[in-house]
A and B are shown apart, each in its own frame.
Chain A
Amino acid sequence: MALITGKKCGDEEMGALGLESEVAEARTAFDSGKTKGFEWRKSQLKALLRLLQEKEDDMLKVLKEDLGKHRVEAFRDEVGAVAKSVDNALLNLKKWMAPEKLSLPLAAIPTVAEIVPEPLGVVLVISSWNFPIGLSLEPLIGAIAAGNAAVLKPSELAPATSEFLADAVPKYLDCEAIKVIQGGPQVAEQLLELKWDKIFFTGSARVGRIVMTAAAKHLTPVTLELGGKCPAIFDSLKSSRDKKVAVGRVAGAKWGSCLGQACIGVDYLLVNDEYAPTLIELLKGVIKEFFSNSEHLARIVNKHHFQRLCNILQDELVAASVVHGGSVNAEELFIEPTILLNPPLDKEIMTEEIFGPLLPIITLKKIEDSIEFIRARPKPLVIYAFTHDEKFKRRIVEDTSSGCVIFNDTLIQYVCDTIPFGGVGQSGFGQYHGKFSFDNFSNRKPVGRRSFLIEFSFRYPPWNEKKLQLLRHIYRFDYIGFVLCFLGLKRYSYRS
């Protein structure tokens, strides 16, 4: 199949000037109009799918190299999930692109209106290191589906993946319109000085502020996918089978996905006092069952984060609260699944997002207190709750605020294309996945059409009271009153 590209793209040395000219090329590509057509968008998405299929082994390899992810985890969380999203986009692209016809009130007759989605232009996607393939390509799918040109800056903290993307993407996609620019904070800073039509950022709140401040200079709209401390509420579940399943799901979300370095991973557990010992035993059991072989667990991304987590554990009071695990391996950058029982709430382990395999369990007098506990803290990306109590569920939804709420499972929101994925408050703003990705990178432009056929003289000055009254009737959609007034059969009234 012929690729719709204009030229061959290879390795290029990227200085500041090189960077600007790359971005300028993307803008030229967009201005030429080629990214707007259905055929181009479809071809790019299909090419992305081919990339995911043909380069699957390479991807699994770099994810192992950067993060120690097992093949299956890497496929499940990144490669497979992205392929599913591309399929979904291809299936729905025509529908998403179609104008949405609207019904309009009678008074606007003869007006016909619709909402026409159009691309924003040239967008910047900055992704994070923990799901370096997924968090780069998911937004890219949305950008392409919506008809934009895009520049992707993958995280330098996952260098093998960044290198892979810089190499593979230009080979499969239209390298004039879709660019991958590698680099660290300096390159990011340079990119942020330029004018974009949208910036999509996944990462920490600290950098999120920097991104938004830079975007403000150009009035560039942004989406910030940040993090937070995602709690899992553990209510008592009657059946022991349900308990085991629930604990399995928590363990999977804590340690089975990038060793806890996930924005939607379980950060800490909330359980009532009496149930805590049972929970700990169940967790220990599941850890043994799933994670005996550390080959099946990811690694801490780098020395800096490894040290950060070790420091957390070194605090005397925190160390004292460890009830399972705690051993670390500096050479491997590995920390084993660790459970803590009621560490002090004012220490970093409970004030900052952990982003690692340490699982604090906080006990409460009664499980309903978990709502107050969560409300007192910044809004997280997700709240997990394991409960059958419908009243409790309703209270959780109504009395807390978070990006989303998941009952009786974990992580599944990531692969569900029909719900919006994104944060609120400190966990960010803007949503994506599925059609939400398409909308995120679109301008939904209302288009109204009128004919010359029907014309109302009372729209125009010179003004008089009769015209005012006619307009009152029109605005209230009071057609009878309007007609009577028009015919002079109704008196002017100052009642609104």
Chain B
Amino acid sequence: MALKFEVLGKFNRARAARLALPHFVCQTPLFMPVGTQGLCFRLQALSIESTSSVCTIKGLTNNQLEEIGCQIILGNTYHLALRPGAELIDDLGGLHKFMNWKRALLTDSGGFQMVSLLHLADITEQGVTFQSPVDAKPMLLTPEESIQIQNKIGADIIMALDDVVKTTITGPRIEEAMYRTLRWIDRCIAVTIFVIFHVISWAHSRTAHKRPDEQNLFGIVQGGLDPVLRVNAILIKAIISRDICVRGMVDRNLPGYAIGGLSGGEDKDSFWRVVAQCTAALPEDKPRYVMGVGYPLDIVVCSALGADMYDCVYPTRTARFGTALIPEGLLKLKNQAMANDERPIDPTCLCMVCKNYTRAYLHCIVTKDPMGSQLVSYHNLSYMMRLSKDLHTSIVEGRFPEFVQGFLRVQFPRGDIPEWVCNAMEVAGIDISTCCAP
């Protein structure tokens, strides 16, 4: 296996770990910036389909990313396969070499983008069928092909193609998605010449994942939500679906696991419960990646519940609207109140932007000049890296509850902590009563 995961400290379910990947040794919990822009924004801004970019973080250079402590960045297989193309990347020596990124990379399967972006995308047992955005020809992305593309790209962690369902969907589709995902993971894993440490081996003869000793295949746990208050047959199935999926994934002994199907507008109460359910069932000694999360508060809660890795377009996307992330929450730099505010974005932040620029100046340039979006992106990503580091260090140093309490107090100075957070912290075994209003 191309991954070593070593837990260095714990507090109940929360853990801080050392994640050794082929290109970099990381510390978890960690946030991974996304090299792709969420397409909705781009479509509005540019009115061109499929213009998302890959493998550059909104205006930051590699050395800037390293400086702020970025450990893994996420590349989007769908976009990379379109431009510049998997073959080209392979010919030029893989994505690391192409973009000259020395640390770790993670690619997703491409499935999510297809389903959300493409016209007439549909999922069948074979794979994801869609219309090519280039010439509208019908095309098919199979689990095998997704893996092959990702092999060519060469990221440290690759994702299995899963049958993604919208979190708000209910009914038999959930169960179908869950079982299909399991069948697809088998096709993803399928055969390779496994360099095996374990007794379980899959003796298939077709080749799919060719590089198990250089790349790590993560499985994705799907299975819908269970809105707690609505107990009926279909919805109980949703929970059971997740359970079955988790167990199925665990049985296959993958290097790590992702929790998918969240971050799609589901209510927060369902969100945390699914994360809790999955982390409880997933093995302790493998990393857990919650896809598409997210807001700093969500990351703190998920970490308390035992998750390790996160990705989201939010920090860079919101930067382009002039919104900065600060410990208190959000700072809307476009607001007229900022026009004469001589403070930095965040007086406690040590990033290049906060050390050199005032809110007043940034107010002038955000949404108007490219430098504005560059600087706020830089700060927002610095914030996320600092949050990651704080999570890791506070757990290792045995002061995680204090960190969580401090975090919540600053975000909710009036003690109006949302109920879902309180419920989640109870399950996580963290006492936040001192942060809540009486």
- Check if A and B associate: no
Question: Which A residues fall within an 8 A CB radius of B?
Answer: none
